[in-house]
Chains A and B, each alone.
Chain A
Amino acid sequence: MLTPESLKRIDREIAKYPADQKQSAVMAALAIAQEQQGWLSSDAIECVAGYLGMAPIAAYEVATFYNMYDLKPVGKYKLSVCTNLPCMLTGGVDAGEYLKQKLGIGFNETTPDGLITLKESECMGACGDAPVMIVNNRRMCSWMNPEQIDKLLAELK
């Protein structure tokens, strides 16, 4: 179920750790599997566990512990908005509200067309750039005032 391209990337991660410590690559491997599929299914988790020679339950534990793994399908784009205190002081919460209004959904919901899932998130280590949001765990967007948010939404097709 993992593509050869994904397996190649996982191999590169495994090589970072001592030969008897393949399990260390599980976080990266799960992230790669999620990137391939858009979310992390049980099949994908078990496949990663098998590939790294670890018990499936151990991989499940990791997948459920860290917030950026999506164990249920999400929209094509997952938008995570930071609302923690430093961001809140500079519009983070307002940005979240603005997005909810624009998209007609609440946090942890997906637009009916399956395009965008909205998430509230904790500090991303970018509080000076508030409001900040991340698209699909990868692309960080800074200084998201209403104009910038409109622009981003127009871009996400």
Chain B
Amino acid sequence: MAILGAINPMLTVGLDGDKAWRLADYVKRDGYSALRRILESGIGQGDVINEVKKSVLRGRGGAGFPTGLKWSFMPRSFPGDKYVVCNSDEGEPGTFKDRDILRYNPHSVIEGMAIAAFAMGAARGYNYIHGEVWEIYERFEEALDEARAAGFLGRNVLGSGFDFDLFAHHGYGAYICGEETALLESIEGKKGQPRFKPPFPASFGLYGKPTTINNTETFASVPYIINMGGDRYLEAGKPNNGGTKLFSVSGHVNRPGNYEVPLGTPFATLLEMAGGMRGGRKLKGCIPGGSSAPVVPGPTMMDCTMDYDSISKAGSMLGSGAVIVMDETTCMVKALERLSYFYYEESCGQCTPCREGTSWLYKVVHRIEHGKGRADDLDLLGSVTTNIMGRTICALGDAASMPVQSFIKHFRDEFAYHIENRKCLVPVDVQRAGSGFFTATA
């Protein structure tokens, strides 16, 4: 199991059994009791939304937008079709928490979506699952079958008169479909190209109907909020940062994996839980919120706590909670080159600044890495990023620019060394040793 540790957990409690994902096991852990209580005791839609507002649950997909507020934008008493959609397209490099939630606790997502659907007056939902995790998609379908058979989904849920149908939709390899409007286009059977906003999905979403999209972990947290109450959930984290969060720790640590900790937990504690730095090496830099978040130098990172506000003060973003740890064996130019390639490859091509800009970013970082950098390349990179940012339909343009700006800002000397000396500051065999691949058997 890849959930390797926790402090005061909620989402990952009781998941050590090998059948944790089964309905019976979930019910034993108090599963579906929140949905049942809402439907049987006449708790109103507004009450549910208020509870979520009180919890200050912030979206776990990347932007950290308050979930209760988002839900209140839905025209819930308007007649007509409305949708709730779960974003399990987890493709942000460094993020692998939704996979584990769906793998070990899929019913928490189903229950959370059902509660959300009730609160917003939606009768249908979809969970969009990343194409690469096929086994998880199959498991989620099985969980849906179980929930339907037990009356938690479908017509007249638990005899309450509330109808909710939920289905799984799989992606097939396009990072951009994690962007919410691209995801909707994709469910509609089209290319996953983001839409102009406004209109926002709450007024014009799936099939043109009001729609709310939340991340897997966001939905999974909802039953726990209803059961413990919004206030207590908020207290479990820190002010303005309610609850616990799953952090996916990858890179140069001894035990890469998922860790559930209260928001506000010191980064140093999380690092320790992940077994500390591999080989006892020094932390060079850390990307604290998935590849789109600016990199933070090691010493600054060691002073951060893991919550939206602290990370933002350090000049980065908590994002999806993907903590990419890089030690001294990392060549920052090569690291940025790989990320820039990713954004270039995944740009959907709709907007010229993003399509052309990501191609330039990659080309220039590539030539620096390969000893062909030019004296003014760092300025050129800077100007390309400012020409992308804020001028595109979706946030991928910004996501491609922020790593470039932050890597150059914090590791400028390393880039300059590459350009001047046409080689890397970190010898290749040192980089290789860092990767641990050959030492695994040797």
Contact = CB atoms under 8 A, between A and B. Distances in A.
Interface of A: 16-18, 21, 23-28, 30-31, 52, 54, 58, 61-62, 65-69, 83-95, 98, 121-131, 134, 137-140, 145-147
B189 A127 contact: no
B214 interface: no
User: What 9 pairs between A and B have smallest CB-CB spacing?
Assistant: A91-B437, A67-B173, A23-B189, A94-B437, A68-B173, A145-B440, A86-B250, A66-B172, A16-B167
Given A66-B171, A124-B133, A125-B98, A145 B92 contact: no
Interface stretch (B56-64, B298-306, B338-346): B338-346
B316 to A, nearest CB: 15
B248 interface: yes
Given A24-B188, A85-B291, A126-B99, A146 B437 contact: yes
Given A58-B190, A122-B342, A145-B440, 19 more contacts: A21-B188, A21-B207, A31-B172, A65-B192, A86-B94, A86-B250, A86-B322, A86-B324, A88-B435, A90-B436, A91-B440, A121-B173, A122-B173, A123-B91, A128-B249, A128-B250, A128-B256, A139-B135, A146-B437
A31 B99 contact: no
Given A122-B91, A138-B134, A66 B174 contact: yes
A89 B291 contact: no
Contact of B131 (A54, A137, A146): A137
A91 B436 contact: yes
A154 B181 CA distance: 43
B256 A127 contact: yes
B173 A66 contact: yes
B248 A128 contact: yes
Contacts of A30: 172
Interface in B47-91: 81, 90-91
Interface in B243-260: 248-252, 256-258
A25 B220 CA distance: 26
Interface string B305-325: 000000000000000001011
B95 interface: yes
B96 A62 contact: no
B135 A140 contact: yes
Given A24-B189, A25-B189, A93-B435, A125 B170 contact: no
B241 interface: no
B250 A122 contact: no
Contacts of B251: 86, 89-90
B248 A62 contact: no
Contacts of B339: 84-85
Interface string B185-213: 01111111000000000000001000000
Contacts of A95: 437
B132 A124 contact: yes
Contacts of B381: none
B335 interface: yes
A134 B437 contact: no
6 contacts: A67-B173, A88-B335, A89-B250, A123-B291, A140-B135, A146-B441
Nearest to A28: B170
A121 B175 CA distance: 11
A122 B126 CA distance: 24
B432 interface: yes
Interface string B275-290: 0000000000000000
A121 B93 CA distance: 12
B189 A26 contact: yes
B440 A134 contact: no
Q: Of residues B126, B189, B437, which shows the largest number of chain A Cβ atoms within 10 Å of its Cβ?
A: B189
A125 B132 contact: yes
Contacts of A52: 189
B366 interface: no
A122 B248 contact: no
B189 A123 contact: no
B172 A69 contact: yes
A35 to B, nearest CB: 11
A131 B437 contact: yes
A122 B207 contact: no
Given A125-B90, A125-B91, A146 B248 contact: no
A130 B187 CA distance: 30
Nearest to A30: B172
A30 B186 CA distance: 13
B93 A127 contact: yes
Contact of A85 (B186, B338, B434): B338
A128 B2 contact: yes
Nearest to B95: A125
B135 to A, nearest CB: 7
A134 B435 CA distance: 20
B130 interface: yes
A62 B335 CA distance: 31
A89 B172 contact: no
A126 B345 contact: no
A128 B257 CA distance: 5
A146 B250 contact: no
A67 B91 CA distance: 13
Nearest to A67: B173
A24 B2 CA distance: 33
Contacts of A147: 440-441
A135 to B, nearest CB: 10
B324 A146 contact: no
Nearest to A20: B207
